[in-house]
Structure 1
């Protein structure tokens, strides 16, 4: 391991003043640039570079490529260099602006983050990773220590020592965030960053990493084969995304761009739900609490939705047949009023609720990527559950399972499933009206 002390001078220019943070493979120093007379941040890699000229030339090439990555959530790179340490090892270092902020690791140490805050950070980190991946750059060390929380939002450090996709792997990385395929020497690939993003999400929401291993030796000994742990207490679309990011098979992980889109959709839906619940009246309190619980916990962890009948409820009956495509009868309203109507479902008939389900499935946007065969299958299952006397409850339960299956297969977007589940809740509540 390389070592530096205050007072060390790197490249006859950067005077190290004091360490600011330390991660699994690097230390960030407050330093003074004697050439330009300004205070900077210098990140020094704590594992020694190999001495081969080819390896060092590749490191320089990668740093130059990363320096051209201009993204608002990636910290600008001023300089890259290599320095001989006190023990004679060669260490790479990256020079960056010194920003006012707190490492995300310190924020996590204070306790878990609310899921919307964690998802918001995750969106921005996923988008900067996607920008790097589009340029063929793989970060390889996405950790809570490498995310700086600044007044302008979270910033990702360390793209200056990223690797080109397809290059041989090395031992750079922080063990709790290391993707399992790296233990087998797989070539560098964007999926390793997505795995680390999943670890980061898990750590933000729970306050701990999904697995306890902290060294490469412990990782080698663990060799896990069981499915990744699943988050609880969050919308199931967020839990499912995190679990897919942590998949052992890199081919089953989403791209960084897809992860950003899924988190964005979850945040938008969560905002609409919170706004709608705030506007909902006391008469819909029981259903409001049930809907809130459904959004906060994965399916299967809660009992059935219970509604409170009201004298003004409109009688309804199960239709004798539900066509596979029905024009929407739900009035056009603002997002907040629309969600209030979702909570106050006693004013809906079963027909209106079913129309709303079809309209959601057919509407461009959150469900726009759903394949035609999947949409037709979902409609047929819904129709069958409503036209078979005595089978309504089991039929709707079967449809929920089908939605979950299609999501696991990657054929149904998690945010689309969220919307359809809300519509199924409306159908269930409408059917239970007197």
Structure 2
């Protein structure tokens, strides 16, 4: 039985118990050789049945010691005492996000975004090393007094390529923050960490996990595996980022390095980049087939992209030089869907103009970027763009703004963070839409008004 005052490995004097992670008790201790305060984690719980410590504990030591990052708790040493392994780690005077939320229920959006940026940077470094955390939760996010956040407890991490040692029926992770695929029994991968980070920050922003709370673990796991996320009360760029992280389909979630970029955009007050393309599935299908079947397979790949969710699309590439407004073209002579289509609003005395550009299209859908320009000699504090949606078209997603559809009229209003435009300044928003059996090459006339 480990107690306060005990000397571990002839060097680390236990002072007091400060917490418990996924696999053991954590103590504040003093390194008597270097005269510094450290955290010592006594690795005891092993669901693999390997005894105290066991293969899972040893693997934790190896994995955690590999990672060096300013926003991840550093491991200094791995020692044995009375046949059991102990991790010696950096001691960070801090409180867990879970403890803070017990008192405050929610945190301001700007603080949540800063936490997300720092944790995502550490997890991106871990993923680059092939390490999946597998238990990103409020309890493992440590908040220091100087606004520094660190992710702790890679205790149930798994390096890509290492065999799993979890016993039958054991689920690695905290149920309320598991990704749907993990709740359904699948192995946790990098996208599962993305979802769990989104769920953790959703809890901090909304006051509840994305699937609510439930004392019955089986009921909660079934809800996560089958139901949709509770619609958030908040709006704005942070809520949009969390929505991208909490996609049910792992393929549609951004990579952790992209998650870091999204939070950097939020904390820096910049417009969010559009959702990233995830073309691996379609590309792989094209590469393994014979050239003579390329056309058929291209259509199949397009249908597959649509089935995965039109938001996959292709990365929007901003055009720094707005194209001139083209002359009206009859629908029968519209360019093929592979050619970007641009049309512009007529500014007149409305104070702003909007350029509509089809950046990608596929059978049954397309993606658009709209650039809004302030044509006035003074700044503006709000804008609105509207146009007539072609018959049979249906908008399925929009970023960097909010939209409503009344009959066939689409109205897009600025988001809070991109409403203000300096003289001759510009911003953009994007959308994805379904066309049924139609084409995405239509050229609607846009009207832009200042508010």
- TM-score (structure 1 length as normaliser): 0.61
Counterpart pick for 1:168 among 150, 164, 169? 164
Does residue 97 (structure 1) correspond to residue 90 (structure 2)? The answer is yes
Superposition deviation, residue 102 in structure 1: 2.4
Question: Given the superposition, is the C-alpha separation of residues 42 and 377 from structure 1 closer, same or farther in structure 2, using an over 3 Å criterion?
Answer: closer
Q: Any idea what SS the aligned residue of 1:70 has? A: coil
Superposition deviation, residue 182 in structure 1: 2.8
CA distance in 2, matches of 1:149, 1:400: 47
RMSD of aligned alpha carbons: 4.5
Question: Given the superposition, is the C-alpha separation of residues 379 and 107 from structure 1 closer, same or farther in structure 2, using an over 3 Å criterion?
Answer: closer
CA distance in 2, matches of 1:46, 1:399: 61
Q: How many residue pairs were aligned?
A: 328
Q: Which residue of 2 aligns with 1:149?
A: 143
CA distance in 2, matches of 1:30, 1:38: 11
Superposition deviation, residue 239 in structure 1: 2.4
Superposition deviation, residue 79 in structure 1: 1.7
> What does 1:187-336 align with in structure 2 at a 5 Å threshold?
187-210=187-210, 211-213=212-214, 216-220=217-221, 222=223, 224-235=225-236, 237-269=237-269, 325=342
CA distance in 2, matches of 1:420, 1:124: 27
Deviations 1:26-62 (A, max 9, x none): 4432112344443211234562364549x94565355
Contact residue 126 and residue 257 of structure 1 kept, 8 A: yes
Contact residue 230 and residue 239 of structure 1 kept, 8 A: no
Q: Which residue of 2 aligns with 1:60?
A: 58
Deviations 1:375-401 (A, max 9, x none): 986379x9xxxxxxxxx9562799996
CA distance in 2, matches of 1:191, 1:404: 21
Question: Given the superposition, is the C-alpha separation of residues 60 and 377 from structure 1 closer, same or farther in structure 2, using an over 3 Å criterion?
Answer: closer
- Indicate the structure with greater helix content: 1
Q: Any idea what SS the aligned residue of 1:229 has? A: coil
Q: Any idea what SS the aligned residue of 2:397 has? A: helix
Could you tell me which runs of 5 or more consecutive residues in structure 1 were left unpaired when the two chains were aligned. 85-89, 273-318, 330-347, 362-369, 383-391, 408-414
Superposition deviation, residue 156 in structure 1: 1.2
Contact residue 179 and residue 192 of structure 2 kept, 8 A: yes
Q: Any idea what SS the aligned residue of 1:140 has? A: coil
Question: Given the superposition, is the C-alpha separation of residues 38 and 267 from structure 1 closer, same or farther in structure 2, using an over 3 Å criterion?
Answer: closer
Deviations 1:243-276 (A, max 9, x none): 342334333322211222222223333699xxxx
Counterpart pick for 2:368 among 368, 378, 382? 378
Q: Which residue of 1 aligns with 2:18?
A: 20
CA distance in 2, matches of 1:250, 1:64: 28
Q: Which residue of 2 aligns with 1:72?
A: 70
Contact residue 123 and residue 260 of structure 1 kept, 8 A: yes
Could you tell me which runs of 5 or more consecutive residues in structure 2 were left unpaired when the two chains were aligned. 273-324, 330-340, 373-384, 401-414, 419-426, 432-445
Question: Given the superposition, is the C-alpha separation of residues 328 and 225 from structure 1 closer, same or farther in structure 2, using an over 3 Å criterion?
Answer: same
Q: Which residue of 2 aligns with 1:294?
A: none
Contact residue 177 and residue 196 of structure 2 kept, 8 A: yes
Contact residue 138 and residue 189 of structure 1 kept, 8 A: yes
Question: Given the superposition, is the C-alpha separation of residues 83 and 245 from structure 1 closer, same or farther in structure 2, using an over 3 Å criterion?
Answer: farther
Contact residue 147 and residue 154 of structure 1 kept, 8 A: yes
Question: Given the superposition, is the C-alpha separation of residues 240 and 168 from structure 1 closer, same or farther in structure 2, using an over 3 Å criterion?
Answer: farther
Superposition deviation, residue 199 in structure 1: 1.3
CA distance in 2, matches of 1:147, 1:18: 21
Question: Given the superposition, is the C-alpha separation of residues 141 and 393 from structure 1 closer, same or farther in structure 2, using an over 3 Å criterion?
Answer: closer
Deviations 1:122-142 (A, max 9, x none): 011111111100110011121
Q: Any idea what SS the aligned residue of 2:69 has? A: coil
CA distance in 1, matches of 2:80, 2:270: 47
CA distance in 2, matches of 1:398, 1:80: 66
Superposition deviation, residue 143 in structure 1: 1.6
> What does 1:109-188 align with in structure 2 at a 5 Å threshold?
109-111=102-104, 112-150=106-144, 151=146, 153-159=148-154, 162-166=157-161, 167-168=163-164, 170=166, 171-188=171-188
Contact residue 175 and residue 183 of structure 2 kept, 8 A: no
Contact residue 109 and residue 207 of structure 1 kept, 8 A: no
Question: Given the superposition, is the C-alpha separation of residues 378 and 206 from structure 1 closer, same or farther in structure 2, using an over 3 Å criterion?
Answer: closer
Superposition deviation, residue 153 in structure 1: 1.1
> What does 1:406-421 align with in structure 2 at a 5 Å threshold?
419-421=427-429
